[in-house]
Structure 1
Amino acid sequence: MSKEFFNDLFESFNNKNILIVGDVMIDSYLWGDVNRISPEAPVPILSGIGREDRLGGAANVALNIQALGANPILCSVIGDDLRSHDFFSLLDNQKLSSEGIVRCENRMTTVKTRVISQQQHLLRVDEEITSPIPEVTEAKILGQFHTVIENNAIDAIIFEDYDKGVITPRVIKRIVSIANELGIPTLVDPKKRNYIDYQNVTFFKPNFKEFTEGCKLDLKKGPSDELVQAACKFQEDQNIDILMVTLSEYGVFISKKGGANYIVPAEIRNIADVSGAGDTVISVATLCLLQKLDLNKIARVSNMAGGLVCEESGVVPINKKLLLEECLVKITD
């Protein structure tokens, strides 16, 4: 592919309006050094602590969309608690809209705290409520969805599902129905709880574990005829146009319903942290799909992006310039 092709492609991402529906959270980090063991119990002592809060979950998808030049709008539920103020501050700092965010007094704002020493994760603490949101909150988030759709020309909708309870079967069915009526593509980064509720969507991106568990399959990881057969059956049953299964060290499988399928080999990387890679993959795939790239290139560009963020410590969005440079070097056909 020519330099002009990729320059034009990445330029075309600018100003697309992407609505992201899903579980937002705060990724909180405690950084320090471990030099001794506690005399009180056989556990390491972290000293010289630094603290940092970042946007996580569906909000990290928003950061990736923003980093690629497009305009993200979040639609989600958080608690009416102290940490909700921190979440709104993080949105403000990143110049992200809060118009689709609903506060729920009976929930807490999800916070994942990672304890890290010398780029090694020692511990993660999750503060969360993962039960499905009640009907009254479903009605509120669907109301916010309608407001966002009415006030913005939405180019695509991403479901970023972390099984934290914001996305329910009712929310999925209603949003997909409206999106299909309006001709808006729907893309899904699923988890187990709602797996089979995603029907009639445009693009579905589980990882291998999510795919096998969601479909109740016992498959050996990696490319195989069994994977192709299972993928084709799942696409037909769920009426999914494009299925992309990430296979980590084996690359990516991508398939068009009733059409072609490809295996894209993995990129060789110095992996530091895989957290948030799926957020990056679905973000890049969304914008590539909007520009009508073929299946092979959607998989290659988004897989490359996921690999790039894995070289960074902690959850970080994609660097658009670095991704463009890699595309220019590595994708030549």
Structure 2
Amino acid sequence: MSDHLTCHWAGRFPFIDAPILVLGDVMLDGYVIGDVRRISPEAPVPVLRHSQDRESAGGAANVALNIVSLGGKATLVGLVGDDAEGRRLARIASTAGVVCDLVTDAGRPTIAKTRVMAGAHQMIRIDREVLSPLSPEVEDRLIARAVAGLRGARALAVSDYAKGVLSDRVLAEVLAAAKALAVPILIDPKRADFSAYAGADVIKPNRGELSAATGLPCGTDAEAEVAARRAGAATGADILLTRSEQGIAYYPRNGEALTAPTQAAEVFDVSGAGDTVLAAYALAVAGGLPAAQAMRLANAAAGVVVSKAGTAVVTLDELEAAMEPLDHRPEAAGRLLSWDEAARLRDGWRRQGLTVGLTNGCFDLLHPGHVAILREAAAACDRLIVALNTDESVSRLKGPTRPVQAETARAEVVGAIRGVDAVVLFGEPTPLELIQALVPDVLIKGADYTEEQIVGGDVVKAAGGRIVRVPLRDGHSTTRLVERSKA
């Protein structure tokens, strides 16, 4: 990814270039496409008039492709046969930018699924696969490559399609290695018994998979939460539940459930949608985003991919466009709030899965340097609160002749800057108490401070948030403006 693109996206999507290890069942998805206009005279079956063939990478390979398409870096560990299908699959993934570390097993073919399509409608699917247990030698090679790939990875995405790669031994040893290296583990499950996934940080079932694993119904939201809580208690993992047309729900081990409705304008094809959710969520975790924001991002990505035909990927441009309607700021954005009002607003934003940022300063005689900081801060989160020093605290910091503008005037001007969603005043020597009250997801400060010097940074990071340091624009300061006015 170019430096320009990295700079453009890094504030909004901090997972750019994040390295992810993808482990699981890989497969070659083939499409035989044509149209049907008559019934065969030989048998009561439709005749497909062939127009084209298409192939794409499926299963864990599709997870890896989505990671790369969304700006991350993916290393793929899986199993292929010593055949043309395996070579074509590796070529598709490598061409897209995936680092392929695939194990070849001459004793089985590459898994291939061929869908016969009449326009947008699937007529039949042909699966080529051998599901016999792995040999110890193949398990050894898979484990060795996965453990090697974990070094330097910021997340492990496990894509289980129940095709044999994720044997008990492979799962146990790779998950143990990831835990030892403190690499977050995210699993898309297929087993009816989730106990093999114990130790994962997040497990991402759909309703059917969760019901099969717990023996509980998942038809309603209340039923799904009971089942998710049971699965979470049994595995020690948070549960990210995909709910088809109802969107996504997140059930943390400790804390209240979060839900996000589907964002798809039209569902065209759900093939590979779970792969996209796993890829987007893994990237969000690797980028340090909180769970609510990670869920919202994954949900937006899923809404894009189900509107496409066949196994597909989502780009950053598409993801930003999908999230744009959710980023619409209300007409009352930027108004001055009390601490209690800001806390209530912050809680509401959290329930919506929005990332809340906070920056602070005097912002006396607003100049281009201030505007640049505020815009960079707004780009690093979904909702931005600006903590403004009161007149009394500005005088203590800057001297008896300051501020030039009263706090209400400063609050009105700062609140009018695009991207500022709320302004609060604080009169304490530092904003620490306010940060403790609001606990923002992102704390933004000028790059003239080191991360260790930023007041409240420890509070934010302890809650799973992150620090963003914004470069300052040279040549701009309120003090210089005041001095020039006296000249």
For 1:76 and 1:10, locate their aligned partners in 2 and report how far apart those are by CA, in whole Å: 32
Change (3 A) 1:36 1:9: farther
Q: Within 2, Cα distance between the matches of 1:124 and 1:43? A: 15
Partner of 1:158: 157
SS at match of 2:102: strand
What percent of counterpart residues are identical?
31
Which deviations, in whole Å up to 9, do the C-alpha atoms of 1:191-218 show, x marking residues without a partner?
025632100111110001000011122x
In the other structure, the counterpart of 1:110 is 111
CA distance in 1, matches of 2:37, 2:12: 46
| Aligned with residue 219 of structure 2, among 204, 216, 221 | 221
8 Å contact kept, 2:32–2:50: no
Residues 221 and 247 of structure 1 are in contact (CA less than 8 Å); yes or no, is this contact kept in structure 2? no
Flag the 1:10–1:103 CA change in 2: closer, same or farther, 3 A: farther
Corresponding residue SS for 2:165? coil
Match 1:306 to one of 302, 316, 321: 302
User: Alpha-carbon deviation of 1:31?
Assistant: 0.8
Question: Paired residues, what number?
Answer: 322
Provide the C-alpha distance between the structure 1 equivalents of 2:233 and 2:83, rounded to a whole number of angstroms: 43
Distance change >3 Å, CA 180–CA 92, structure 1 → 2: closer
Question: Post-superposition shift, 1:266?
Answer: 2.3
* Higher relative contact order structure (alpha carbons within 8 Å, sequence separation ≥ 6): 1
- Residue in structure 2 matched with residue 279 of structure 1 by the alignment: 275
Aligned partner of residue 22 in structure 2, secondary structure: strand
Structure 1 pair 9/290, CA: closer, same or farther in 2 (3 Å)?
farther
CA distance in 1, matches of 2:265, 2:22: 29
The answer to whether the 8 A contact 1:308-1:323 is kept is: yes
CA drift of 1:168 comes to: 1.0
1:248 and 2:244 are equivalent in the alignment: yes
Task: Output one character per residue of 1:4-45: Cα deviation in whole Å (capped at 9) or x when no partner.
Answer: xx9545442221110000000101011111111111111111
Equivalent residues in 2 for 1:102-181 (5 A)?
102-150=103-151, 153-181=152-180
Alignment partners' CA distance in 1, 2:229 and 2:19:
31
Question: 2:213 & 2:115 partners in 1: Cα distance?
Answer: 28
TM-superposed deviation, 1:49: 2.7
1:329 to 306, 310, 325: 325
**Cα pair distance change 1:135/1:235, threshold 3 Å:** same
With over 3 angstroms needed to count, the CA separation of the structure-2 counterparts of 1:263 and 1:146, relative to structure 1, is closer
Question: How far did 1:48 drift?
Answer: 3.2
After superposition, the C-alpha distances for 1:259-308 in whole angstroms (9 at most, x for unaligned) are 22122222252111000100001111111122333333222221121111
Gaps of 5+ in 2: 1-7, 329-348, 350-487
Q: CA deviation at 1:252?
A: 1.6
Structure-2 residue corresponding to 1:3? none
Q: Distance in 2 between matches of 1:194 and 1:105?
A: 30
Correspondence list, 1:1-333, <5 A: 7-98=9-100, 100-150=101-151, 153-192=152-191, 195-217=194-216, 219-224=217-222, 226-240=223-237, 242-332=238-328, 333=349
Length-normalised TM-score, structure 2: 0.63
TM-score of the superposed pair, with normalisation by structure 1: 0.92
Provide the secondary structure at the position in 1 that maps to 2:51: strand
Deviates more, 1:255-264 or 1:70-79: 255-264
**Residue 12 of structure 1: SS of its match in structure 2?**
coil
Range moving further from structure 2, 198-207 or 252-261: 252-261
Largest Rg, 1 or 2? 2
Separation in 2, partners of 1:292, 1:25:
30
Look up the equivalent residue of 2:97 and give its one-letter code.
Answer: K
Deviation at 1:68, TM superposition (A): 0.8
| Alignment RMSD | 1.8
Supply the distance in 2 between the matched residues of 1:11 and 1:236 (Cα, whole angstroms): 31
Instruction: Provide the C-alpha distance between the structure 2 equivalents of 1:295 and 1:81, rounded to a whole number of angstroms.
Output: 41
1:121–1:10 distance in 2 versus 1, CA, 3 Å: farther
Distance 2:292 2:17 in 1: 25
- d(CA) in 2 for partners of 1:66 and 1:7? 14
Q: Secondary structure of the residue that 2:221 maps to in structure 1?
A: coil
Shift in alpha-carbon separation, 1:231–1:92, aligned structure 2, 3 A: closer
